[in-house]
Structure 1
Amino acid sequence: MSHPTPPRLVGAGDIGRIVLGWGAFGVLLLIHPMIAAPAPVPTLMIALAPIIAVIIACAFGVVKQAEALAHRLGDPYGSLVLTLSIVMIEVILISAVMLGPGEHATIARDSVMAVAMIILNLVIGLCLLLGGLRRGGMAHNRTGTSAYLAMLIVLSALAFALPALIGYAGSYTPGQAIPIIVLTLGLYAFFLYRQMGSQASDFTEVDPRLHLPAAHEETRSSSGIAAVLSENRREVVVRLALLVITVIPIVLLSHDMAALLDDGLGRVGAPPALAGVLIAMIVFLPESITSVRAALGGEAQRVNNLCHGALVSTVGLTIPAVLVIGMLTGQTVILAESPANLLMLGVTLLLSVTTFGAKRVTAMHGAAHLVTFAAYVLILFS
């Protein structure tokens, strides 16, 4: 009796994207002296176009593996794989910049603020608008979403508002930084412990119209995530490795692209923070694509897990990391935001609470988030 051939986990497209991403990074290292600032404008354009093209190609590879893992593991575990992979690399990237030459007092503040506005307003706005137009109102798990927003309100206040009130020149003193690190990491660790443990069901879909594939239903019927990992260890390990190997070039290329954008945007008089926004959009491109696809499929809770989960991890890991580096290296870490950005952050969090306090999220909610992002961009140019 012949047995069915198991599906191939690694295809030619997967290998091609890995070769493309790492090859592009290698080429960039070789030609770095040619594109170092101040480079001619044509050189900047010629260098930027292929970098962006390679990043987009690799992003679709990351999305493929993330969606396969999500269907195999189920939420919230599947979404956590993509979220933590991208966020950990982003944290390492910011930390590497701080440990490098030069002063980078505001890099963490500017990066995390840009990520917050992009995820909470641009990406979620697009998801709710497109998903709402296609699906109508989408139901989500309000208990899980409330947990995300509670985390974001507290972590954002500790990161951006409190240092403006009790710190010195927008920075925490060492005596203040230590308890902030402990509180932030402690709250984040407790959140992950509950999310992956007894409260895992609070982060699953509630819309009865969504039907899981047969293979997914069979997987979910087994005794917990441990059984799933045991039964599908090879597939999970291979797909996780492919995801990480494919996502690393995205971040590395984005880091090198930052210098090109800073140079180009500086020449046209664009605000310095705009480069950070563009970099954050590129780095979180795989997560953004996955979120929009989930919204089009009516998976509102998966959108929450990807977007809100990414931001909780970004703030919960980045702020402690840069504070520790600042204390060890003697660098100043300015976290306090400007009054205008604090206003936009407050409006965004209030809007998020209002949006996801409803039983069903709609296209009108999405439009409100997109307008809020437009207002943030307006502030950048003011």
Structure 2
Amino acid sequence: MFTRLMEYWTLLMPPVAIVVLAGVWHRDLPGFAVALAALVLAGAVLAAVHHAEVIAHRVGEPFGSLVLAVAVTIIEVGLIISLMIGGGEKNAALARDTVFAAVMITCNGIFGLCLLVGALRRRVAVFNPEGTGAALASVATVATLSLVEPTFTTSAPGPQFSTAQLVFAAGSALILYALFVTTQTVRHRDYFLPITSKGEVIDEESHAEPPTVRQTWLSLVLLLVALVAVVGLAKSISPAIESGVAEAGLPASVVGIVIAMLVLLPESIAAVRAARRDRVQTSLNLALGSAMASIGLTIPAVAVASFWLNDRLLLGLGSTHIVLLALTVVVGTLTVIPGRATPLQGGVHLSILAAYLVLAVSP
């Protein structure tokens, strides 16, 4: 009975969210309307997770992780660009703040939480260091080229690229993401499959009957509907978020953190569920794949948007964030090399995320 109710709920939530979006779009919302939109937004996110998991079960790993990572990034890109339109100078650093927040949340928050859950379940969390290491190297390279280099270039004033540099950064991010996806899904797919403590690849397809083609297509349609609703509802309540951040006296970069947390909620839930099922590799695919998609797809998209909108695009990180990024890469490398992790490694990554959040609120 409960399973049937959950199925109906996930079928009904995306169209309900679209109806609510139509009611709140481009309107000044009172407090109760903001609360309602936020509640429906949360429901749409959970429905998106369910339908992404249905598709993932049909296509198998690591394609399933890729589906959810790209879906989450579409939400992020759509929301950033929608806020950039008409935002002017105050949103010049929004893309940087949101992308960096996504990197810290995925590479420390989701990554650390999944290692912690997996290690507490099996004493040691086991994963493939070859695939995970390749993903971490890709994230570190694209993050450095896109978010660190603008701080030190001199062709344009401030922490921003010149036009030629921005074209290069966007192009290299897109190419590296394409290489990452090809490696993950074609040439070295086995590096990204879940493994046992003995190093044996887990055949996930043998554990449950995959959904039918009809169910998969229905979930794909409802996933797209849910994503549209999430972007629209997040856009609708963003003025309330911005005003709340300003009234609390917090830095403007906190808005980027809130956006990243909203759009990464489906990824976080799916990753923790996978870790609880002893599929730590799937969890790490979700975390690092989402980080890679966030940079590799968002930077080119906002670069094009900045040319179209003729706006400044500040991408360079400050010194505090550069230190946190460097610490994340070093600790992540040491975590990945052995191919197994204890609760300690998970706790270390979560402490880095906590430091980032504290320094974001109190720089």
2:181 maps to which of 192, 198, 204: 192
More divergent stretch after superposition (286-295 vs 357-366): 357-366
Equivalent position of 1:183 in the other structure: 172
1: distance between equivalents of 2:60 and 2:270? Answer: 15
Quickly say closer, same or farther: Cα 1:238–1:19, change in 2 above 3 A. closer
Q: How do 1:154-233 residues align onto structure 2 when only pairs under 5 Å count?
A: 154-167=141-154, 168=156, 169-207=158-196, 208=200, 212=204, 214=206, 233=213
Tell me which amino acid in the other structure corresponds to 1:55.
L
Q: Secondary structure at the match of 1:197?
A: helix
Residue deviations 1:314-345, cap 9 Å, x none? 10011122222323443211111110011111
Residue 27 (structure 1) aligned with residue 23 (structure 2): yes
In structure 1, how many angstroms separate the alpha carbons of the residues matched to 2:163 and 2:128? 40
Is residue 61 of structure 1 aligned with residue 58 of structure 2? no
Question: Within 5 A, what are the aligned runs for 1:98-117?
Answer: 98-103=84-89, 104-117=91-104
Q: Give the distance between the partners of 2:264 and 2:320, measured in 1 at CA.
A: 24
CA RMSD after TM alignment: 2.4
What is the alpha-carbon distance in structure 1 between the residues aligned to residue 326 and residue 34 of structure 2?
Answer: 35
Mean Cα deviation higher: 129-138 or 287-296:
129-138
**C-alpha spacing 1:271/1:75, structure 2 compared with 1 (3 Å):** same
CA shift at 1:369, angstroms?
1.1
* Counterparts of 2:205 and 2:296, CA distance in 1: 34
Q: Is the 8 A contact 1:210 1:298 kept in 2?
A: no
* 3-state SS in 2 of match to 1:55: helix
From the superposition, tell whether residues 343 and 51 of structure 1 become closer, same or farther in structure 2 (CA, over 3 Å): same
Residue in structure 2 matched with residue 339 of structure 1 by the alignment: 319
Asked whether the equivalents of residues 254 and 283 of structure 1 are also in contact (C-alpha less than 8 Å), the reply is no
Contact 1:326–1:333, Cα closer than 8 Å, also in 2? yes
Structure 2 CA distance for aligned equivalents of residues 273 and 83 of structure 1: 23
Aligned to 2:122: 135
User: Using the alignment, how far apart are the partners of 2:67 and 2:131 within structure 1?
Assistant: 18
Q: Secondary structure at the match of 2:52?
A: helix
**Would you say 1:269 and 2:249 are equivalent positions?**
yes
Kindly provide the amino acid, as one letter, of the partner of residue 163 in structure 2.
P
Tell me if structure 1 keeps the 8 A contact 2:51–2:220. Answer: yes
1:289 to partner: Cα distance = 0.4
More deviation, 336-345/238-247: 238-247
Kindly state the Cα deviation for residue 263 of structure 1 after the two structures are TM-superposed.
0.7
CA distance in 1 between counterparts of 2:223 and 2:232 reads 15
Letter in 1 for 2:123: G
Q: Which residue does the alignment assign to 1:39?
A: none
Distance in 1 (CA, whole Å) between partners of 2:176 and 2:87 is 32
Is there any run of 5+ residues in structure 1 with no aligned partner, and where?
1-7, 36-42, 220-230
Q: Give 1:21 shift.
A: 1.3
Q: How do 1:1-382 and structure 2 match up within 5 A? A: 11-29=7-25, 32-33=27-28, 35=29, 43-44=30-31, 46-103=32-89, 104-167=91-154, 168=156, 169-207=158-196, 208=200, 212=204, 214=206, 233-380=213-360, 381-382=362-363
Determine the C-alpha separation between the residues in 1 that align with 2:74 and 2:17: 19
- What is the CA-CA distance between 1:303 and the residue it aligns to? 0.7
- Unaligned segments of structure 2, at least 5 residues: none
Structure 2 letter corresponding to 1:115: A
Deviation at 1:193, TM superposition (A): 2.1
Q: What CA deviation, in whole Å up to 9, does each residue of 1:50-92 have, x standing for no partner?
A: 3332222222222222222222221111111111112123213
Q: Percent identity?
A: 31
| Dislocated runs of 4+, deviation >4 Å | 208-211
SS at match of 2:278: coil
**Partner Cα separation in structure 1 for residue 322 and residue 302 of structure 2:** 20
- Please say which of residues 82-91 and 155-164 is displaced more in the overlay: 82-91
- Deviation track 1:181-226 (CA, whole Å, cap 9, x = no partner) reads 222222222222222212111111111495635365x87xxxxxxx
Displacement of 1:98 after TM fit? Answer: 2.6
Deviation string, structure 1 residues 239-272 (Cα, Å, up to 9, x no partner): 2112221232122212222210111221121222
**Following the alignment from structure 2 to structure 1, what is the Cα–Cα distance between the partners of residues 18 and 182?**
35
- How does the TM-score come out when normalised to structure 2? 0.90
* Whole-angstrom distance in 1 between the partners of 2:33 and 2:246: 17
Distance 2:175 2:339 in 1: 31
The whole-number CA distance in structure 2 between the counterparts of 1:144 and 1:287 is: 19
TM-score normalised to structure 1 length: 0.85
Distance 1:172 1:92, change over 3 A: same
| Structure 1 residue 232 displacement after superposition | 5.2
